[in-house]
Chain A
Amino acid sequence: MFPSGHPERSAVERNGVEGSRDQTLKVPQRYSSTPLRSVRNDEKVSRHSSLCGLALGLVLIACAIPSAKAQDFLDHVDEALSFSALNGEVRARVSGTLDLEVYHFSGLSPGLIRTTNDTLFNPRLSLFLDAQLGPSVYLFTQTRVDRGFDPSDRGAQLRLDEYAVRVTPWEDGRFTLQAGQFSTVVGNWVPRHLSWENPFVNAPLPYENVTAIGDKSAPYYSFLGIGTPAEKYEHNPIIWGPSYATGVSVAGKIGQFDYAGEIKNASLSSRPESWPITRMDFANPTVSGRVGFRPNEMWTFGFSASEGAYLRPEAMSTLPFGRDPGDYHERLFGQDIGFAWHHWQLWAEFFEARFEVPGFTDADTFAYYLEAKYKFTPQFFGAVRWNQQFFGDVTNSYGGTAPWGRDLWRADLAVGYRFTAHTQLKLQYSFQHEKDGGNDSDHIFAAQFTVRF
């Protein structure tokens, strides 16, 4: 039992579960609604005008860039940004993408989008450096200028999101060692997470649906519901996007099997601020791995697992006496399937995640998605994705039991058109529905125009 005034007791009292094992916990509204939603009409008109202007701008750019001259220009830019020295032993290439994204949602900002408005324009410039030093050493970086790692209405940022050096001693790929800050080996979404490869504008649900889990403090006050959008960003999904945490990985291929393992400074659910080594050390590392089976070019099957502490150091002061962030782990098991043949590409991932929560029993969740992409013509493609997430029950120290999140599903539909090998426009509509929620259905519209060079 918690003493009066103890934060967990307060949370329990707020949710009305003290001593009532069979009583279903009252799950608060995910978001408080009106105050943050009250936007003056003139502001709305102005924003819609801006949106129309922006959409017109995207169309104009889309019309201008496909011209043969512009295409030829981008091809030559591509060539001009390649360098070699020492008779080709050292080769480097700078490339990049410019993304112009527009989001509009009927409810509050979905996923990891961070805004209190219902419309968001999110430009992003990503620059990549790929270098090959002799046959065995490869290094790469990704630098971004945008409004935050996830779409937001904040000011401009310049970040080095990825850097890594990879050593491949044998040409057959049986062993590879990589060190730096780079994407996780878990699952099969990472290879298509960048805007050019991703058929959608956003990520699958497991990679962006914020749960009640928070990493900055023990979740006494917020575990059974997420308050406002601003608070929402203080919470975590199962896997935060591509999870560019810092660490070391090994990978390789043996016959039809491949393997990959990594030790990183932050868990899969950790926020981008936790990924750099300057922000999180290896005091509580996360270990992840994946074993893949590829019977032929068409099919891939993968099994992933990960375990590591998910609380940040500042959560220490909110933990029970004698405990530290390293005592509370995120465990994840994942299964992934990929299929590709002719103009079809199919993917599916299933994740079973468990969070150890101070003052509660383990919080379990299961999330999955099924995704399909089809090229109707050489330049026109469509994609559909079905996402779903289920939350288990948690029990607090008083025996009260309740689900720790609302089950939800989301259907994504996207179409894309590649004007040239360097320009692409995607349009997406999503419908999300939460079980037992007051504000339980959201419509999400997104458009993304990408120039690749």
Chain B
Amino acid sequence: MRCLVFCLCLLSALTRSAPAQGSVEGQVDLPRTKSAPVMTKRYEIVTTGGVLGTNPPLAVVYLEGSFPTSSNLPTKQVAQKDLAFVPALLPVQVGTKVEFPNLEKDTYHNIFSYSPAKRFDLGRYRPDEKPVPSQIFDVAGLVTLRCDIHEHMRGLILVLATPHFVVTDDSGHFRLKGLPAGHYTLKAWIDSRTTREHPIDLKSGSTLQVDFPATP
């Protein structure tokens, strides 16, 4: 009898520590590539050559639901390199600290955001300054990053109330793993005006195929 109780307890504990997991994969139809930005050089006495790189459109796919929050979130980074944000699109969970290192050789940046989800202005800081300027993103929403010095620079931080998200690749393909079983809404954030969604029923150990076509 004691042995049976022990086995049941062990099974229960194992069930709690290793919940049933599923995954979702699929394809998001991405919008066409936007024109690359043109750097404004009108009043710069010294300018360097070269053109700015194109950022291909990407989407963020995330699982919407009620999930426990973690107090130990990893710190993320959005760097400034070659007069652009790297990465240009970063999804983070609410409460994540994001650092903004300046990786330019000898160029100031002044990163700021006026987005309702997070308003801040880091001011001008040198590449070698420590600590690296950072912000904690504690409200869900879209945060548009800009530079007060370089008008063309744009970056996005999508703050999500879920730990389950992934950025698609350039072709729009995604795979979300380690998802808990249950009934959820899977969302694909395309841009500030477009978010597609799909209800899903995740079963333990299963892999769902969900696509987000441009015209459902």
Contact = CB atoms under 8 A, between A and B. Distances in A.
B192 A91 contact: no
Contact of A82 (B37, B121, B125): B37
B42 interface: yes
Contacts of B127: 297
Sorting the interface of chain B by its residue count into under 10, 10 to 19, 20 to 34 or 35 or more gives 35 or more
A379 B114 contact: yes
A341 interface: yes
A94 to B, nearest CB: 10
Nearest to B43: A191
Sorting the interface of chain A by its residue count into under 10, 10 to 19, 20 to 34 or 35 or more gives 35 or more
A297 B35 contact: no
Interface string A173-214: 100100000110100001101000000000000000000000
A162 B41 CA distance: 13
A281 B179 CA distance: 74
Contacts of A419: 114
Contact of A297 (B39, B41, B107): B107
Interface in A328-357: 340-345
B49 interface: yes
Contact of B125 (A71, A75, A131, A342): A342
Interface of A: 68, 71-72, 75-76, 79, 82-84, 88, 91-93, 95, 128, 130-132, 134-136, 138, 140, 142, 162, 166, 168-173, 176, 182-183, 185, 190-191, 193, 251-253, 258, 260, 290, 292, 294, 296-298, 340-345, 375, 377-379, 418-421
> Which 9 A-B pairs rank lowest in CB-CB distance, beginning with the nearest?
A378-B121, A342-B123, A173-B48, A171-B49, A84-B35, A82-B35, A93-B38, A168-B49, A253-B46
Interface of B: 34-51, 54, 106-108, 112-114, 116, 119-121, 123-127, 144, 146, 151, 192-193
Given A162-B42, A260-B46, A421-B144, 19 more contacts: A88-B51, A93-B35, A130-B38, A130-B41, A132-B39, A135-B51, A136-B49, A169-B49, A170-B49, A172-B48, A173-B48, A253-B46, A292-B45, A297-B107, A297-B108, A340-B108, A379-B114, A421-B114, A421-B146
